[in-house]
Structures are given as C-alpha cells and as structure tokens.
C-alpha cells in the first residue's frame, strides 16, 4: 500500500496564476480530507468528501478555492488567482470511514508545498 499520494510535492506559481493540487487516497478509503498547514495557523481543515460527495467545506475560503472528487481514486484542490498569502503546505488525508477501532483514523499524504511569488 503506497499510502496517500500527493502531486506535485512542490509548486511555485506567480501571483494571479491558477494552482491545481492532486491527491490519491488509499484504496478502499471512503473519506478524503484537505488541510492547509502554515507555521502561524498550524493545521487548518478545509473540506472533506465521503464516498466522493462533498460533505463539509466549512474551512474553505469562499473565493478562489474549490475542491472536487470526480472518482474514488483522486481528489483535486484548485486555487484560482493565487495570492502570496496562499503559500502553505496543503495536506490530503484519507480514512476508511467505518465504525470500529481505527476506522476513522486519518492517514496523511506528504503534502504539496505551494509557493506564490
């Protein structure tokens, strides 16, 4: 099992450009989460999907950020018109999503470091 895969590992964009980040969850996991990590704020929840359906996007900035999960094997986080304050590590996690020991444990990918110049 390769774990959660995130690509690219590093992305540099110019201000105003679009950035698309990819996540491949662990096979068989029904829930996929996106977080943003900065030194100041730590780990911030953005959004999550269950069985590909968007469930909770309460952490997503209202403008410029969107997330999709077109199939069970990948999810994308898109940031339009990137700004320097969007610079962060974006982490994806997945969980099995079933009751029982460890059923809701989140497994994280290595993250994508986004730098907006």
Partner 1 sequence: GDSVIQMQGQVTLSENDFLFINCTYSTTGYPTLFWYVQYSGEGPQLLLQVTTANNKGSSRGFEATYDKGTTSFHLQKTSVQEIDSAVYYCAMRDQGNAYKVIFGKGTHLHVLP
Q: Which residues of the chain form contacts with partner 1 (CB under 8 A)?
A: 4, 31, 41-43, 45, 48, 50, 55-56, 91, 93, 95, 97, 99, 104-111
Residue 40 or 71: the one with the smaller Cβ distance to partner 1 is: 40
Joined together, the tokens standing for residue 13 give 């964009």
In the chain, the N- to C-terminal Cα span, in Å, equals 36
Residues 46 and 35: beta-carbon distance below 8 Å: yes
d(CA 92, CA 71) in angstroms, rounded, equals 15
Residue 69 or 93: the one with the smaller Cβ distance to partner 1 is: 93
Closest distance of CB 76 from partner 1, Å: 18
Residue 10 or 15: the one with the smaller Cβ distance to partner 1 is: 10
d(CA 35, CA 54) in angstroms, rounded, equals 15
Closest distance of CB 72 from partner 1, Å: 16
């Amino acid at each position: 099992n390769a774990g959660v895969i995130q690509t690219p590992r590093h992305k540099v964009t110019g201000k105003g450009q679009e950035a698309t980040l990819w996540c491949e969850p662990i096979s068989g996991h029904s829930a996929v989460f996106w977080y943003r990590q900065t030194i100041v704020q730590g780990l911030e929840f953005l959004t999550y999907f269950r069985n590909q359906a968007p469930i909770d996007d309460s952490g997503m900035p209202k403008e410029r950020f969107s997330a999709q999960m077109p199939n069970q094997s990948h999810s994308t986080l898109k940031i339009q018109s990137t700004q320097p304050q969007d610079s962060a590590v974006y982490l994806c996690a997945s969980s099995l999503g079933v009751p029982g020991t460890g059923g809701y444990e989140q497994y994280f990918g290595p993250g994508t470091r986004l730098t907006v110049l």
